[in-house]
Each structure stands twice: as structure tokens, then as C-alpha cells.
Structure 1
């Protein structure tokens, strides 16, 4: 079987969970079939392409056409998609995120092959993207809707995401949607040795390893709920050290909002460290192993690979009970879920934001006040990530979807 995977992100250019998903999926699929990845950000050097022992993995990178380089992001995206669609040469094409939806839809028609799309997020549930894309948000919404409606199969990364797809696009036959969870490569999250260079991150950012420490990792985007977390930090035990790995704001306005809230926290509370750069994997791995708990305050999260990564490092998780998160974090077993009543206008905005903030703070305090229970929850989370979310299992389920479509 020849498979073309179409994606915005691929190594070494990864900034979110969808990129991690495609990287790991491509490697395990390449052990089972002939795989070509078509990605943005230009051609890759040989040493930038993941190696697959005994597999068949090829990576083709594309640049935005010069004529579109100063245009709206959506038009730049479509310029890359046209090139991808023309080059597809496979039995089946599999598109990830709206960035690759036009390429997948055109390839489906041009080459008369089946199209599979994976839903990592949905444009109707991210209205704040208009702040970033302007009128391009109308284009991203249109192309996602068209691809999802005409795809031969839609893969949802969680049961919660399947329900969101049916809500956003009610004309889609539920039987056409398959749930295949995101996964985790446990070997990538082993405990660093005592001399591992990754530990230097603690010294560089003056993080005190003797203090109980809470960790957040995520982009500065409205769906990640960072402003609510910053309000909650103001309420938690002042002895808790908080490390925020938060960069790449969607808009200048949101970046300024977070920067202002952090400055206030730093002045009034202290004991908060903000890391704005994207850390290399060894340093992030050391950070996750060196902290005591992880927090995920998202208001929109189809599954949440960050929670799986934290669990793979043995961290208990405090997370909002939204989207696919409850399929990963088991309340009272691997951490605590924070209840959240949300508006049904597509924004996911909490109906009672003060309650959400106070409940999050209470869950953090409860977890951090009992180190022994926190360690037990971390151990339970590690076992859950290992046993339920392996990429080998996910590759087999994805291959089953391909076979069904080809039949």
C-alpha cells in the first residue's frame, strides 16, 4: 500500500500536537507500508528526516510560492496545497489539519483516490483564529468543511472530537467517523541520567528543584486557557513554584495580555518562572521529570498530547474536563479533572469563569498538598499512557481504516 500523508508540520518544524502526531504516525506506518510525507517549510536535509529501521519513509517539503509570500496566511497555505495535490502519487491520501485539507481534497479528485482526514481541531470551535487569519478564517473554515464532508473517512483523535465533528458538520454520516486516539512513544520520555545536559535548564532559568513545582507547557493561544491559569496561580499556595513553558502567541494582543498578567503575578506573588522559548526535547524532558505535577487549563482540547507526555514522565495532571481530556486523565486516579461549563457558541468560553478558576486552584492545592498521593497518581498515569496509547496500536487501527476505505 502506498500512502501520502499531507501535513503543515513535520520535523524539524514542529510547534504543536498535530506535528507530533504526524511524525510518530509516519514512522510506525512506514514499517507497514510505503509512506510519503508532504509537508510545509521547504525541502528537508537527510539528517532532518526521522529514521525508520527497515521502513519505507520519504519526505517532500514545499515552500510558499514567492508570488504569495506577502499575502494572507490562508492564501499562502493554498499555494503550498496546490503543489502537494499535483505531486500526490499513492493509493490513498491522508490530510492533517485545515492546512492540508485543500491538498487532500484536490488530490482525491485529481488522482481519483480515497481521502482520509484526521481531525486534530475544528475551525468552528476556534473562532478566535479570526484574530490571526482575518478573512482567511473564512477560507480555512470553508476548506475544512468541504474536505470533511467529502472525505471517504474521517478520523477523530477522541470520542469527544467525534461528537464535535457531528455538531460542527451534522451532514456527515456518523458511520464515516473512526475514533483513533493520539499516541505516545514511551521511549522518548525516559528519565534523563544525572549528567544529562537537559538538566541545565533548571540552572539557566533559576528553577529551584527543592521546591514543589507545577508545570505548564503550551502555546499562547486562547484554546490553551493560559489566562485562566494565571488567575488560578494567584490563588494557590504561595510555596508552590510554577514554571510556564509558553510561547508563540497567536496574536500580539494575546501575548500582551499574558505578559501583563505574568508581570502582576511576578510582582505580587513571585515564585513563577516564564520560559518563552521552545525548549529542545532533552531540556523539556528533564523539566517534566524534575517537576511534581502538570496542569492543562485548556478550554478546547480534542485530546491533549501534552497530558500524555506528562503522564509518560510520571507526572500527575490537573486538567479541565473538556473535549478528549477525560479520555486521557482519569479523575482521582491519574490526577484531577476540573469541571467547566462552557458556552455553546463555538468559543468554549467558560460560563462561570470565576468558578473555573477557583476549582482549578483548589485542585492544584489538593494535589500538591499530598506528595505521596501525587506520586501514586503519577505512577498510575505512566501505566495508563504505556498500556493504552502506544503508537503501534494506533498504527494498526489506522491501517484498518485505510483497508476499509480501499475495499
Structure 2
């Protein structure tokens, strides 16, 4: 079976890493998988696993170039003649619709997040089948777009038990990062993911500033706190990163915050944390891959009590959930997150890794995914899928 995946770029992020993993599953099952994007560092991992890559600008939102880019995409699809195309974002989905007018290829939309409700976002329900990473996203699409349940497939993202293996960590890498981040003697709070406003890093910085102030005021000899932000800002969001750096300075915690950049070895980075925090409180995570991976590395998680986090974090069992109030500002949310971090730090959680691996097994994800692709084998028309 020949499959074409459409994704804006193959740089960092949970969606992109999920495509790398799915490529491995599809290739192992004997399928021809082509990942089309504007390029990125993760292309190498696709190629190393036996997949293929091609570069088409399906990232730009410029409407003036949309038709020319759609023609380029159509030419590629005419050459490849795929059995099914998978669109992983709105721009690629719209470009595919333009490219597919005469080709009439079957396709899957993978709705990775809860995009703003609009005609533009509705495109993520236009596939013959729509896949979501959590019940939260499936319910969101059903509520706002009235998509038929028969066309929805929920496939939670998986944890790669080999990659996230506590027994196979790169000790030299970890030693290097300990020195670089200067974390010895600190309780390490980690935020993981690209630097965008939706990730709530401003709240996390304020929360750690509060914990640091409490530490200084207590006079107790317990370790101080250090925040490590693992991720980088895209070129268009560099100003937001600079605003975070200014916030760190204004809070007087320059020695307590590290901007670590993109992670080359996520498992090792997570293992250097004491607590992993998803401080996103404005827009729910669709799933929250880094939260599940943190649990697989035996690290408790603090997250806002909405969205995909509810499928991963159990309050008092493997971390803490922070109540979200739409009226609360960043300062109030920082208080709530700091309280949750402090509570988790004083708790003793058991069996985090085995329970996470059981719930989010790679084998389960692979089987469900292959079953969805299997629906498109040997089909001649869309009605075979949509009913």
C-alpha cells in the first residue's frame, strides 16, 4: 500500500515525532510511506527507518501562492498514485483539496488539536476518515462540526518503550547537561515543548519565581528550585522567547531558569527532571505526548485539568491537576501551579512507568493505526469508507 503523509514541516513537536513513529510502523508492515513537508531535521529519521521524504511548501499560509503550491502537490500525487493521503494540519488539508479535484484520491484527516471553530478549521473533518489522539478532540469535533461518529477514529499516541527506557540512557549526555544546566543541588522543574504562548511558559516562570521566594524566606536547607525549558521558538516567535527572558530577569531568577533549546535526547532530558509541568492553561492539549513520556521515565506530571491531560494525569496518582478558571489571570494561575508543584514534590508516587507503558503502548497504537489504513486497501471509491 502506498501512503502519502502531508505535514507543514518536520522540525520539532509531538505531531512530527508521531509521524516519525508512524513511518516506522508502516514501513515495518510493508507499506510505502512518503512524508511530504517543507522540510526539517526529522526527515533524517524518516529516511533512516526506510520511509521516503519529499519537499513541497505546504506550510505557508499565503493565499496568493496557494494555487501554485497546490499544482506542485498535484504533480507529486500524480507521480506517486497513492492509495491514501493523510493530512496532518489545516494548510496541507486545504492544498490537498485543491490538488485532488480531478484525482479523487481517498484521504484521512488527522485532527491533532482543538483549532478555533471556523470554516477554515472545518477542513480537518473533511477526510473520508478523521483520526484524533484523544476522546477530548473527538468530542470537540462532534460538538462543533457534527461529524458522524462512524467517521471518527480515536488513536492515542504511544510511548516508544525502547526510546523511553530508563535502563538505556546516555549517561555521558546526562552528565554534560547537568553541568551545562547547573542543576546539581536543585529540584528541577521541566517544561518541554516548542516555545509558544499557548504553552504557558510565562505562568511556569512565575510559579518557579514564587517557589524560589518561598525557599529563600523559609531558611530551610532543602534544595532550591530550577526551571529548565526544553524547546525552542520558531523564527516568527523569537520575540515571545525574548519576552520570557525579560520576565526571568524582572523576577530576579536568572540563576533559576535555563532555556535549554531543542532536545536531541528527550528521554535523557526528562530523566534529569524531578517534576514535568504542562503549564498550558488557555487552550487544552489535544493529547500531551510529553506528559505521557515523562510518566514513562518515572517523573510525575503537573498539568491543567482539561483536554488531553485528563486522559493522562490522575490527580494524586501520577501527579496533580490544576483547576482552570477562565477568569484567572497569569498571576493567579502561577499561584495554582506553584501550589501543585510543591504538593507533588512532597509526594511519593509509585509505578509511574509500568502504568504509563500499559496505557499508551506502542503496540496498541500501531495495531489501531494499521487497522485504519487497512480500511483503505483495495477500495475503489470514497463511498466504501464514508458509507
Using the alignment, how far apart are the partners of 1:307 and 1:166 within structure 2? 25
Among 79, 84, 96, which residue is 1:92 paired with? 84
In the TM superposition, residue 394 of structure 1 has moved relative to its aligned partner by 1.4
Q: Which residue of 2 aligns with 1:136?
A: none
Where 2:340 maps in the other structure, the secondary structure is: helix
Unaligned residue ranges in structure 2 (runs of 5+) = 216-223
Give the number of aligned pairs: 361
Distance 1:87 1:231 in 2: 48
Determine helix, strand or coil for the equivalent of 1:121: coil
Instruction: Work out the CA distance in 1 between the residues paired with 2:288 and 2:113.
Output: 11
Residue number among 239, 242, 246 corresponding to 2:227 in the alignment: 242
Q: Secondary structure at the match of 2:303?
A: strand
* Distance in structure 1 (CA, Å) of the matches to 2:264 and 2:42: 19
Deviation per CA, 1:170-229: give whole Å up to 9, x if none.
4x2233221111112121122355743343012123222x32211111222121111121
Match of 1:212 in 2: 187
Quote how far apart the aligned CAs of 1:48 are.
Answer: 5.1
Secondary structure at the residue paired with 1:291?
Answer: coil
Task: Summarize the alignment of residues 130-149 of structure 1 with structure 2, pairs less than 5 Å apart.
Answer: 143-145=120-122, 147-149=123-125
Pairing partner for 2:344 from 364, 367, 376: 367
Q: 2:207 is matched with which residue?
A: 232
**Partner residue, 1:292:** 274
Q: Provide the rounded CA distance (Å) in 2 between the counterparts of 1:311 and 1:273.
A: 23
Q: Give the structure-2-normalised TM-score.
A: 0.83
Q: Are 2:387 and 1:394 aligned?
A: no
**Aligned alpha-carbon RMSD (Å):** 2.9
Tell me by how many angstroms 1:81 deviates: 4.8
Separation in 1, partners of 2:48, 2:162: 15
Contact 1:202 1:287 in 2 (8 A): no
Aligned mate of 1:178, from 153, 164, 169: 153
CA shift, 1:77, in A, is 7.1
Cα distance in 2, alignment partners of residues 120 and 290 from structure 1: 28
Match of 1:115 among 104, 107, 113: 107
Task: Give the Å deviation of 1:403.
Answer: 3.5
For 2:346 and 2:160, locate their aligned partners in 1 and report how far apart those are by CA, in whole Å. Answer: 31
Shift of 1:63: 4.5
Which structure 2 residues correspond to residues 8-407 of structure 1 after superposition, within 5 A? 8-10=8-10, 14-42=11-39, 49-52=46-49, 57-64=50-57, 80-88=69-77, 89-106=81-98, 108-124=100-116, 143-145=120-122, 147-170=123-146, 172-191=147-166, 192=168, 195-208=171-184, 210-236=185-211, 237-238=214-215, 239-248=224-233, 251-265=237-251, 267=252, 269=253, 271-281=255-265, 284-299=266-281, 300=283, 301-342=285-326, 351=328, 353-370=330-347, 373-374=348-349, 376=350, 379-380=351-352, 382-404=353-375, 406=379, 407=384
TM-score between both structures, scaled by the size of structure 1: 0.79
Query: In 2, distance between residues paired with 1:112 and 1:96?
Result: 18
Q: Partners of 2:43 and 2:306 in 1: how far apart? A: 40
Provide the secondary structure at the position in 1 that maps to 2:33: strand
